[in-house]
Structure 1
């Protein structure tokens, strides 16, 4: 019997601060992304209401529908902090590893020596603003758009160096540091001089490329996320490929999840991501379609609740078509990876629980409880597809 699992992640749409945030993320106290968007915008989400979202949110402006059509619950983050890469890899079945936290300056000499040993030309152009310049074009430094000491970026102007070479440098850096993530990225129609002029120090001391200012995202953008302690062989997409099933990764999902053999559909625009899902429902007959809507997270970083609400409404509109295209053997699972409360007072991710909605036309909806890890999504999908279990997570099918 052919079966499909459709996983849809609304990036950063959290539903309330985690219990441990008071200790580790005190600045997030009181965060509740979804609830606060409802407080501050005229958000209309009839399909999510039908699914039963207000049994989780308990917001006075939404209908509480007793005959909801989806099973529902709440998910806790097992990974430390509130990180999209770690969150997505946890969703796909990886057990999070505790990574080392440090600014790049703490590792700069070790990385410099390692790259020079591999034959690269490496310099530190400005000791007052320390970063590595590799082969005259590639900048290795802190990621100054995320939490302190979690991520190092390897950035390059792709008119001067192929992305494959940037990725090799990134992999060399990855081998010599233990931080959560190393990101290799690049864009076209930008100069090396402009890149170097876009390096800056933020208030907490991190030094790195201001990526939006550098224009790296504007044309020909390519990116690869290199995680710490991640084994794709034990994740849902690779296990599905191994079992002979089809796998499609859409939007940010294909940026942060590695799966050899999957069809990949890059894209940030929400309309494009949702159209790719519906198109793949015509193509994939037996397997996994996994997608991420990223513009919600970008609206959170911009502290723009109206834009955030607009993107949620667009997703809700597409749910009508997705439901219509679902067969009796399909499961649709909708969730998030953390929070990004646009009114909490800062522009970074917030450590929040996420909602869980699971719809299958032939299964009666139930409350599946408060789950210990986001990996329960992958564990449930693997159980339903009848494939090898993921590294982490417990199925809620029963």
Structure 2
């Protein structure tokens, strides 16, 4: 296959609660990210997503957006436990999710503190006597991630003007070697200070303590991030499989921070218009290959419980996706999807366990690929498109969207 396959992940853009949400994540059974936005903004129009089948996938029309009779669409459940950006993207890339352990940082603080001290780091405890996190070398905090599923990740956060990213990663790798949670996330930015990070401290449920990422000023400039995962084998994922087959791979946005792509091109970017402009530029320069782009600001708006900001980001993404469609060839495929939900009206700042849309532009018209059981079906379809070996997990739906393939 000589075409291009583009996947755009609108981070946190779910459609409605999964059937198991009440059991797996009590409270999420009433979640619907798109439903909340339509309730808050009945006049919401996303013409390009609408044309791709947004309302078809949602299963109902709104005041201003209707079913698209020629759309090729579907929905997908999440196979990974909970509702997680890192695990969601590993799943998209073809990993069969493995359930990590759940620990609040208090359960591991002694062990991690000792490991850091043994490696020659200075370590100070912050917080209250009963709820503490670590400040390493007077510059890096190690604490619970309170921006997503509680107990599933630890953050290592530092101002990069004070602590270079490679040194931050040294700390994060020590933490990773002593943690069994799903992710250890190392991130920081420039222009902020240790005091800015410490001022973002918050607690959850009386047993989690962390630094709310959106308040640390890490995203403002010079942002760098790396996610160290649990139970992930890059060799059975799409980027490694395609690279082995000689296919170009480009990861843009947050996916560049969390998916292994040693032999391809990875570019971190947060701003929605910028990351989609990069996608168009990469598409224009690529004769054949795979591009995956993460639009992160939808997720950030959900974490901030800010539906007005969510709408603004979605409208920007819709406009840019329309521009991108004008750069696609007849033999290209575009999939617009999500990795989980992040309902801005749910009443908490965590992800929500929702089915996600699969909006597909291909040669097929008027096709419904149904409710897929795993996000890995997208990764399997990508590999099938390039006649490459299948990833660890997932079932291709290529024949359903490319009738003459």
Give the TM-score of the pair, scaled to structure 2.
0.92
CA 196–10 in structure 1, closer or farther in 2 if over 3 Å, else same: closer
Aligned partner of 1:18 in structure 2 is 18
CA 18–126 in structure 1, closer or farther in 2 if over 3 Å, else same: closer
Farther off after superposition, 194-203 or 165-174: 194-203
| Contact 2:106–2:207 (8 Å) recurs in 1 | no
- Residues 13-92 of structure 1 correspond to what in structure 2 (within 5 A)? 13-41=13-41, 42-57=43-58, 58-61=60-63, 62-66=65-69, 68=70, 70-92=71-93
Aligned partner of 1:379 in structure 2 is 380
Aligned partner of 2:403 in structure 1 is none
Aligned partner of 2:329 in structure 1 is 327
Matched, 1:389 2:390: yes
Aligned partner of 2:402 in structure 1 is none
**Alpha-carbon distance between aligned partners in 2 of 1:219 and 1:47, rounded to the nearest angstrom:** 30
**Alpha-carbon distance between aligned partners in 1 of 2:126 and 2:312, rounded to the nearest angstrom:** 44
Matched, 1:269 2:232: no
- Residues 228-377 of structure 1 correspond to what in structure 2 (within 5 A)? 228-360=230-362, 362-377=363-378
Deviation per residue, 1:348-383 (Å, 9 max, x gap): 2111000112211x3344211111100100000100
**Alpha-carbon distance between aligned partners in 2 of 1:229 and 1:381, rounded to the nearest angstrom:** 22
CA 196–341 in structure 1, closer or farther in 2 if over 3 Å, else same: closer
Q: CA deviation at 1:11?
A: 0.9
5+ residue gaps, structure 1, are none
| Contact 1:92–1:378 (8 Å) recurs in 2 | yes
Aligned partner of 2:137 in structure 1 is 135
Deviation per residue, 1:34-86 (Å, 9 max, x gap): 122122212112222222222222124222232x1x42111000011111111
Q: CA deviation at 1:152?
A: 0.6
Q: CA deviation at 1:244?
A: 1.3
Aligned partner of 2:6 in structure 1 is 6
Secondary structure of the residue that 1:154 maps to in structure 2?
strand
| Contact 2:224–2:268 (8 Å) recurs in 1 | no
- Residues 168-207 of structure 1 correspond to what in structure 2 (within 5 A)? 168-196=170-198, 198-207=200-209
CA 193–55 in structure 1, closer or farther in 2 if over 3 Å, else same: closer
Secondary structure of the residue that 1:225 maps to in structure 2?
strand
Deviation per residue, 1:186-214 (Å, 9 max, x gap): 22233335544544433432122243443
Q: CA deviation at 1:102?
A: 1.0
Secondary structure of the residue that 1:325 maps to in structure 2?
coil
Cα-Cα RMSD: 1.9
The alignment covers a number of residue pairs equal to: 395
| Contact 1:299–1:308 (8 Å) recurs in 2 | yes
Structure 1 runs of 4+ aligned residues shifted over 6 Å read none
Secondary structure of the residue that 2:280 maps to in structure 1?
helix
Aligned partner of 2:156 in structure 1 is 154
Q: CA deviation at 1:275?
A: 0.7
CA 194–56 in structure 1, closer or farther in 2 if over 3 Å, else same: closer
Matched, 1:103 2:104: yes
CA 7–23 in structure 1, closer or farther in 2 if over 3 Å, else same: same
Secondary structure of the residue that 2:15 maps to in structure 1?
strand
**Alpha-carbon distance between aligned partners in 1 of 2:29 and 2:246, rounded to the nearest angstrom:** 45
5+ residue gaps, structure 2, are 400-405
**Alpha-carbon distance between aligned partners in 1 of 2:340 and 2:84, rounded to the nearest angstrom:** 7
